[in-house]
Chains A and B, each alone.
Chain A
Amino acid sequence: MKILTEKNLKTFLKSAEADYNVRVPINLHDGTRALGKIDEGSLAIAGGVIPQKITNVFFPQMETILTIDSEKVELPKPSVKPLLVIGFTAQDADCLEFIDRFYSEDYRDDIYFNKRDGAVIVCVSGRCGNDGEFLKIAGEKCDLELICDGQNYLLAAYTDAGKALAENADGANADDSVIQQLQKESDSLPADDLELIQAASKLLLEEKVPEEFWATISDRCIACTSCNLVCPTCTCFDIFDRKTDSKVQRWRMWDSCQLDGFMREASGHNPMGKENIRTRRRIHHKLAADVTRWGQLTCMLCGRCDDVCPTGIGIKAVCREMVDKYGSA
């Protein structure tokens, strides 16, 4: 396994641009971390979770799904070069694994897989989280992984695509003891948050959370929809058309189950017409409904909804209140 300095890493990523559309965490104009092209800002590999959902490279906020003119219907084409995306955390890789499943099972979402097929996923882990936080090592959930030893990055390759890329990297060989030490640190990370949402999930599955609880949460919800829009496992979208004289374009855009219109029927009746029901759904879907449907929790604890919620009712905060109130019952 090679060790790359930040400079070597940049050279390595630049060389990958020959075959890939490379997306990497950068600092935007005011220092906000986001995905971008290598030369669009200074590299910001370290710093933990990227605030916006990283899966938006495959499922963006708004995209064309077909164009109709007087002669033909045109579907979006796969890009010539596949994507190479750096910046997934181990939790993000879990999210991606789930939405891959979601978009391929039963009905395959070609628009999503146009971007996803052939894409190389690079996780970032180790001693480079926000405020010195250690980021869990993802392992074989990704193609390549950059494991930070506090200064430089160990380059771990897991898949054929990852290994082929890693061969081009320029760096000294890492000492096994370093890798073992980092793995040990990763394995010993506390699992408090996981235990918390598992406990919350159990309460929901056993129907131990009364209706009035949700009202106390939804009273604080300002329906900004941010929790949905930053969640890497939220997959809902709405469809709309734009017509000009020469063509019609059909687009899709992110939707939010926190909006009344999300499930309002044409009649106007809405089975989710109350805020407390919508708030319940947001949590219940990830921690109970998906457990029943997919056999897994679909909150991977990335923390984005807790960070982005203006009133402090992200999923972890709500689970904490829920478990505090009903956990011992």
Chain B
Amino acid sequence: MKKVLTTCPYCGTGCMFYLVVDDDGTLVGVEPSNEHVVAKGQLCVKGWNAYHFVNHPDRLTQPMIRRNGKMEPASWDEALNLVVSKFKETQAKHGNDSVAFFSSAKTTNEENYLMMKLARAVFKTNNVDHCARLCHSSTVLGLAATFGSGAMTNSISCMEQADCILVTGSNTTEQHPLIGSRIIENVTNNGAKLIVADNRKIRLARLADIHVRWKNGTDVAFLNGIMNVIISEGLEDKEFIKTRTENYEELKKIIADYPPERAAEICGITPKEIVDVARMFAAADKAMIVYSMGITQHTHGVDNVKSCANLAMLTGNIGLPGTGVNPLRGQNNVQGACDMGALNGVFSGYQKVVDPTTREKFEKAWSVENLPAEPGLTITTAIDAAAEGKLKALYIMGENPMMSDPDQNHVREAMEKLEFIVVQDIFPTPTSEYADVILPAASYAEKNGTFTSTERRVQPVRKAIEPVGQSRTDWEILCDVAQRAGYDGMKYNSASEIMDEVATVTPIYGGVSYERIDQVGLQWPCLDKDHPGTPVLHSGKFARGLGMFSPAAYLPSKELPDEQYPFVLSTGRCYFHFHTGTMTRRSQMLDREERFPYVEISIEDAKELGIYDRAWIYVATRRGEVKVMAHVTDVAKKGVLFMPFHFEEGPANLLTINALDPIAKIPEYKVCAAKIRSAE
């Protein structure tokens, strides 16, 4: 029996715990870390069960190659040689940008760095991206434009210090439980004010001082309305605006169009609710905004994010403990995957590929020439390009676009049109059904590396058991591919050596090393070996100098309900499952809690339509129809349906719309039009 300290593979909170390994090398449990600054001896239900899927019999344990339409076992040599030859052949025939690489927010920083290095240095394409595109690409761009840095401004501990917390589009106690618990404790123990702006009656709404249930997708109007009240009542922080920001006049001009009456009408709420929220938020000494997918996953996701940033600057709530704009990152390492440059337009540390000096720096560091200069395809535009026949080959590491991307039939068309697909994963998925080569990867419990949590904390991941079967760590596989492709610059003896390289080319990770992050990690920016890390961003000065007010006008969502499709359908996660369900649905206790695909429907709508709790119904949109179980609940608002996207047998993303934010290319998962009928 041994106990190995590592970082949780589920959400972005970044709890560390011990994996308990029996003498046979099987994971048999989890124990929380009592000393860890975030976990503090606690865990959520997914954390307690994070060992369970690892030894599941479904694990991929052997490379596979499609021969005559059938997947057959192959050696690593055969599989990797085929990958390299097919990618080279495709590029020779159709150009460098005819291939793309999907990196993964589930894998380590080191592996994300290597995936983007493989794409850029070896295959000379910027077609590299990962699922941050689907969750927080609007944050990365929206906060970079306003503040100069696209990450959570404050730390998790700040949740305990705020006097007022505005939670919008985040079901915090379910999706970031140990952040949600801090909000609950601050409210119940210290009397902090809590404003929940969310269509659903989530747990935090039960404890809120004000719960605003606006129409999905009217965030900009809502936030503009709040700012209108703050300005008209003179509640803004004049000193902060004067000394720390620019473009205030432009903000005032646009906000003037959103008096509470007009904003309330757009949002489907009362003007009083807007006035009350504005006064409560502005009155607090330290007010913070917490948001997540409810803000980002819209065709106006970037506008939503910028509006949150505007509100924080207007009230001077930036740069101090207990304040800030705090996007909660959904995956264990989605922050790190972005930091590492697994994005179409940046190298690690958000250094732009369009900048010639930056390219020169990386060419020198990697001993290559002619790094591609134009931003590449994103996850969403790569799928579009594949469906149009423009993209020919795709290397997918630890992603499951068949389940996670909008409009599954569209993704299926893309998968069918692609000439060559590599899937590197730990379990078979609906995506791997389309693979020409499957590469079995080691799980988080079988490798060393680092994850970066939502509060920008770089933390260790440690090997507790040997990789199962013939599986190999993602970083070793990527290095092997690079070498077989004729590149000698990706040889490492350990994950630690990769991080040392990251530190040399990535200023915000400049002081990060395995030695320094041994127990509690380091929060970036950490510029050099003596830098203590940065718990709160933008203290005294924004990353871009002055904070840029970036007002936006309200734009309606792409597909609104009509007579034919009278409901709004919103999608997301439930507490017990994670994303495409590959891990949680193979965890006994978690899968037992939610065994069936379901849709939340309001008590009023259910009554009107004669639908009872746990009845099977069909939910249909213009993209397709899915059979799911009805959860009749007061969590849902009349006219709005909510469906989690974890279930292969009832995929929410068969229904969602492939409408993208024009800048971030994030899909509008939170609003589309739907109808329902009984399946019984």
The one of B16, B36, B174, B181 in contact with A311, judged by C-beta atoms closer than 8 angstroms, is: B181
Instruction: Say whether A220 contacts B188, CB under 8 Å.
Output: yes
Q: How far is the CA of A223 from the CA of B171 in the complex (A)?
A: 14
Asked if B165 is at the interface of the complex by the 8 Å CB criterion, the answer is no
Q: Which residues from chain B contact A37 at a C-beta distance below 8 Å?
A: 1
Q: Which residues from chain A contact B18 at a C-beta distance below 8 Å?
A: 28-29, 32, 34
Q: Which residues from chain A contact B531 at a C-beta distance below 8 Å?
A: none
Most buried by A among B3, B35, B188: B3
Q: How far is the CA of A29 from the CA of B173 in the complex (A)?
A: 29
Closest chain B CB from A20 CB (angstroms): 15
Asked if B62 is at the interface of the complex by the 8 Å CB criterion, the answer is no
Asked if B128 is at the interface of the complex by the 8 Å CB criterion, the answer is no
Instruction: Say whether B5 contacts A29, CB under 8 Å.
Output: yes
Closest residue of chain B to A40, judged by CB? B2
* A311-B185, A312-B185 given; A224·B42 CB < 8 A: yes
**B interface, how many residues as a size bin?**
35 or more
Instruction: Say whether B588 contacts A238, CB under 8 Å.
Output: yes
Asked if A286 is at the interface of the complex by the 8 Å CB criterion, the answer is no
Residue-wise interface mask of B (15-42) relative to A, using a CB-CB cutoff of 8 A (1 in contact, 0 not): 0101010000000111111111000011
The one of B28, B189, B593 in contact with A62, judged by C-beta atoms closer than 8 angstroms, is: B28
Instruction: Say whether B43 contacts A311, CB under 8 Å.
Output: no
Instruction: Say whether A238 contacts B3, CB under 8 Å.
Output: no
The one of B33, B207, B589, B614 in contact with A253, judged by C-beta atoms closer than 8 angstroms, is: B589
Closest residue of chain A to B519, judged by CB? A30
Q: Which residues from chain A contact B366 at a C-beta distance below 8 Å?
A: none
The one of A51, A226, A244, A259 in contact with B34, judged by C-beta atoms closer than 8 angstroms, is: A51
Instruction: Say whether A61 contacts B29, CB under 8 Å.
Output: yes
Instruction: Say whether A222 contacts B519, CB under 8 Å.
Output: no
Q: How far is the CA of A222 from the CA of B589 in the complex (A)?
A: 16
Q: Which of B165-193 contact A (CB under 8 A)?
A: 173-174, 177-178, 180-182, 184-185, 188-189
Closest residue of chain B to A224, judged by CB? B44
Q: How far is the CA of A36 from the CA of B3 in the complex (A)?
A: 8
Instruction: Say whether A229 contacts B48, CB under 8 Å.
Output: yes
Instruction: Say whether A224 contacts B3, CB under 8 Å.
Output: no
Instruction: Say whether A226 contacts B57, CB under 8 Å.
Output: no
Q: Which residues from chain B contact A243 at a C-beta distance below 8 Å?
A: 57
Closest chain A CB from B518 CB (angstroms): 8
Asked if A278 is at the interface of the complex by the 8 Å CB criterion, the answer is no
Q: Is the interface of A mostly helix, strand, loop or mixed?
A: loop
Asked if B555 is at the interface of the complex by the 8 Å CB criterion, the answer is no
Q: Which residues from chain A contact B174 at a C-beta distance below 8 Å?
A: 222
The one of B5, B44, B189 in contact with A30, judged by C-beta atoms closer than 8 angstroms, is: B5
Instruction: Say whether A238 contacts B589, CB under 8 Å.
Output: yes
Q: Which residues from chain A contact B364 at a C-beta distance below 8 Å?
A: none
Closest chain B CB from A242 CB (angstroms): 6
Closest residue of chain A to B520, judged by CB? A30
Instruction: Say whether B589 contacts A259, CB under 8 Å.
Output: yes
Instruction: Say whether A224 contacts B56, CB under 8 Å.
Output: no
Instruction: Say whether B181 contacts A222, CB under 8 Å.
Output: yes
The one of B28, B42, B52 in contact with A226, judged by C-beta atoms closer than 8 angstroms, is: B42
Asked if A185 is at the interface of the complex by the 8 Å CB criterion, the answer is no
Q: Which residues from chain A contact B47 at a C-beta distance below 8 Å?
A: 224
Asked if B607 is at the interface of the complex by the 8 Å CB criterion, the answer is no
Asked if B203 is at the interface of the complex by the 8 Å CB criterion, the answer is yes
Instruction: Say whether B188 contacts A242, CB under 8 Å.
Output: no
Q: How far is the CA of A224 from the CA of B32 in the complex (A)?
A: 12
* A29-B5, A238-B589, A310-B42 given; A219·B173 CB < 8 A: no
Asked if A268 is at the interface of the complex by the 8 Å CB criterion, the answer is yes
Asked if A52 is at the interface of the complex by the 8 Å CB criterion, the answer is yes
Q: Which residues from chain A contact B206 at a C-beta distance below 8 Å?
A: 219
Asked if A308 is at the interface of the complex by the 8 Å CB criterion, the answer is yes
* A30-B33, A310-B181 given; A51·B57 CB < 8 A: no
Q: Which residues from chain B contact A311 at a C-beta distance below 8 Å?
A: 181, 184-185, 188
Q: List 8 A-B contacts (CB under 8 A).
A: A30-B36, A32-B31, A61-B29, A63-B28, A224-B42, A243-B57, A260-B593, A308-B42
Apart from the given pairs A224-B48, A268-B614, A308-B42, 12 other A-B contacts in the complex at a CB distance below 8 Å: A29-B18, A52-B31, A61-B30, A219-B206, A219-B207, A220-B207, A226-B32, A255-B589, A310-B177, A310-B184, A310-B185, A311-B185
A residues whose Cβ falls under 8 Å from a Cβ of B:
28-34, 36-37, 40, 51-52, 56, 60-63, 219-220, 222-226, 229, 238, 240, 242-244, 253, 255-256, 259-261, 268, 307-312
Closest 7 CB pairs of A and B: A61-B29, A310-B181, A261-B592, A29-B5, A32-B34, A30-B519, A30-B35
